[in-house]
Amino acid sequence: MSAAPVIAIDGPTASGKGTVAQRVAAALGWHYLDSGALYRVVALLALEEGVDPGDAAGLAALARRLQPRFDGERISLDGREVTEDIRREDVGAMASRIAVHAPLRAALLELQKGFRRPPGLVADGRDMGTVVFPDAVLKVFLTASVEARAQRRHKQLNEKGFPSNIAILLQDLRARDERDSGRSAAPLRPAEDACQLDSSDLCIEQVVALILRWYGER
């Protein structure tokens, strides 16, 4: 029996991957993997347990004992709900720092592959098409200019009632882009067979429709 099909959606921070991937999964009736959430869960535990962000072996050990439960948008860990906690800014910053370690990435590999179940999976992250699901039926590399991404994040934060500053957001996005693209372990880059999609001037609906069309054409 052949494995369930995967659509891989990779791209930089704040490119809209998460929302797009969730909607594509809902439209197809497929499962959804937010791989960034796994890095965030490890980051949260590392912060709480005082594991140093440079301690690759300690972080990998944390990741190996990870048994997160995904229930729709809710994520829990040993019966404790962590959905909101993993979205904190300090957790996101820690996730970006620890994601550079190859042993940690290796420790999360099987966990991620386990999400592949019939009728199919839409997975979003940085290395879905290059490392985790190289045989994905469709690989999308979703980008947007750093300015467009900063504007989107600004709007999102304001809607949640958090004040934010565009200049600081721009600085933060550039730093994360650099860490994601510059690391030696699974750097952020489009798979050779990925379809590139610049969403700077597109709305979510247009991006989702385009991806569904590409999938339909396969």
Interface positions with ligand CDP (CB under 6 A): 13, 35-36, 39-40, 92, 95-96, 99, 125-127, 176, 180
- Using DSSP, state whether 185 is helix, strand or coil: coil
What are the tokens at 190?
Answer: 């489009």
Select 192 or 217, whichever has its Cβ closest to ligand CDP: 192
Backbone angles phi, psi at 166, to 5 degrees: -55, -45
Beta bridge partners of 208: none
CA distance 111 to 107: 8
Select 58 or 149, whichever has its Cβ closest to ligand CDP: 149
Total residue length of the chain: 218
Nearest approach in angstroms of CB 82 to ligand CDP is 13
Nearest approach in angstroms of CB 148 to ligand CDP is 15
Nearest approach in angstroms of CB 190 to ligand CDP is 14
CA distance 179 to 166: 20
Select 5 or 92, whichever has its Cβ closest to ligand CDP: 92
Q: Is the peptide bond before 68 cis (omega within 30 degrees of 0)?
A: no
Pick from 202, 198, 186: nearest CA to 129? 186
Select 36 or 53, whichever has its Cβ closest to ligand CDP: 36
CA distance 158 to 165: 10
Select 159 or 217, whichever has its Cβ closest to ligand CDP: 159
Nearest approach in angstroms of CB 112 to ligand CDP is 8
What are the tokens at 140?
Answer: 């999308």
Nearest approach in angstroms of CB 217 to ligand CDP is 26
Select 2 or 204, whichever has its Cβ closest to ligand CDP: 204
Backbone angles phi, psi at 141, to 5 degrees: -110, 105
Nearest approach in angstroms of CB 187 to ligand CDP is 9
**Chain residue at closest Cβ approach to ligand CDP:** 36
Q: Which residues contact 51 (CB under 8 A, 6 or more apart)?
A: 45, 58, 59, 62
